[in-house]
Amino acid sequence: MTSIFDTIKSIAFEIDHAIKTADLGYSQSENSSGEEQLKLDVQSDIIIEKAFASVSMVKDLVSEEKEGVMLLNPEGKYTICYDPLDGSSLVDVNLSVGSIFGIYEGELRASNLVASAYVVYGPRIELVVATQGQKPLLYRANNQEFKEIAPITLQSKGKLNAPGGTQQNWSASHKGFVDGLFSQGYRLRYSGGMVPDLHQILLKGGGIFSYPDTSDKPHGKLRQLFEVIPFAFIYEQAGGEAIDNKGVRLMELIPAHPHDTSPCFFGSSYEVSQLKKAYGIQH
């Protein structure tokens, strides 16, 4: 697994360089979710594909920017599902973006995720790596090298609320939940990039990030294999919780298709209990 994490570290520097120097325009194509692709989305995808091609333990790749599974090394053990550039529409306003990696062994379902990682491209580059049975580890880049900083532990109650989706399209129970948190003094923190938004909650000790089912997106927006499951694993490893709109752990998801989405909630245990109450979910 070390060679996978080392590869993610070198990918982080390459993508960071591309973000800082590449053309910010659109490509001529759409991805599998029907979203317009930026040239940077495509470039980041190619950087990742090339980097893993020489890592023999990686069997195949599934990218947010490509349809289907891409076979790399038939003898390999792991499938890496990744979002090459999360929040890419924020690059032109110079906000933080990220890359997300889920490392699966066997069939592509949450219970087969063995490790996950994400990179934040902000004022500095940071990396969080989570493996089974350990707190997620934070690394920070300095002089083109990642230095281990600290394990991440989520408090049982925080102060931040990051509610995604178009408010007009929220359900009454979701609106009640969000209003309820604000009336308890929670502060709004939402940039529109799930990587920096979830990273902020993790590092500031707690809170909740939600991307619910909405009237325009009844299955949510965020994709299970590359976005939802990798972060669900990280939040659980940090001592938090990650559930869907029915109260089912996101770590029990079984995607029918690589680009399937799910409503998702990641947070500290107090905020998740508030969510369950507002949604009428039995504990």
User: Which CB sits closer to ligand AHG, 135 or 217?
Assistant: 217
The yes or no reply on residue 207 touching ligand AHG (CB under 6 A) is no
Please, are residues 63 and 259 in contact by the beta-carbon 8 Å criterion?
no
Q: How many CA atoms, within 13 angstroms, populate the side-chain half-sphere of residue 24? A: 10
Work out the number of other CB atoms within 10 angstroms of the CB of residue 32.
Answer: 15
* C-beta of residue 200 within 8 angstroms of C-beta of residue 160: yes
Query: Which part of the chain contacts ligand AHG (CB under 6 A), choosing from 80-88, 107-115, 117-125, 246-254?
Result: 80-88
For the beta carbon of residue 239, count every other beta carbon within 10 angstroms. 16
Minimum CB–partner distance for residue 74 and ligand AHG (Å):
29
Q: Quick one: what does residue 193 bind among Mn ion, ligand AHG, none, with the CB cut-off 5 to 8 Å set by partner type?
A: ligand AHG
- Closest to Mn ion by CB, 87 vs 206, is 87
Q: Which stretch binds Mn ion (CB under 5 A): 86-94, 146-154, 163-171, 250-258?
A: 86-94
Residue 64: CB minimum distance to Mn ion, A: 5
Q: Closer CB to Mn ion, residue 60 or residue 83? A: 83
Count CB-CB contacts under 10 A for residue 185: 8
Shortest distance, position 42 Cβ to ligand AHG, whole Å: 13
**Does 158 participate in binding ligand AHG (rule CB under 6 A)?**
no
Q: Does 212 bind ligand AHG (CB under 6 A)?
A: no
End-to-end CA distance of the chain: 36
Separation of alpha carbons 67 and 76, rounded Å: 21
Pick from 52, 221, 236, 264: which binds ligand AHG (CB under 6 A)?
Answer: 221
Q: Which of residues 24-83 bind Mn ion (CB under 5 A)?
A: 64, 83
Nearest Cα neighbor of 212 from 160, 266, 270 is 266
258 near ligand AHG, judged by CB under 6 A: no
194 binds ligand AHG (CB under 6 A): yes
Measured from the Cβ of residue 228, the count of other Cβ atoms closer than 10 Å reads 29
Q: Are 241 and 194 in contact (CB under 8 A)?
A: no
Query: Total residues at the site for Mn ion (CB under 5 A)?
Result: 4
Phi and psi at 126, nearest 5°, equal: -125, 155
DSSP per residue over 9-56, as a string? HHHHHHHHHHHHHS--SEEEEE-TTSPEEEHHHHHHHHHHHHHHHT-T
> Would you count residue 87 as binding ligand AHG (CB under 6 A)?
yes
Of the ranges 46-54, 72-80, 151-159, 192-200, which one interacts with ligand AHG (CB under 6 A)? 192-200
Stretch touching ligand AHG by CB under 6 A, among 11-19, 81-89, 150-158, 265-273: 81-89
Position 218 contacts ligand AHG (CB under 6 A) = no
241 is a site residue for Mn ion (CB under 5 A): no
3-state secondary structure of 243: strand
For binding to ligand AHG (CB under 6 A), which residues are involved?
35, 64, 83, 86-89, 164-165, 192-194, 221
For binding to Mn ion (CB under 5 A), which residues are involved?
64, 83, 85-86
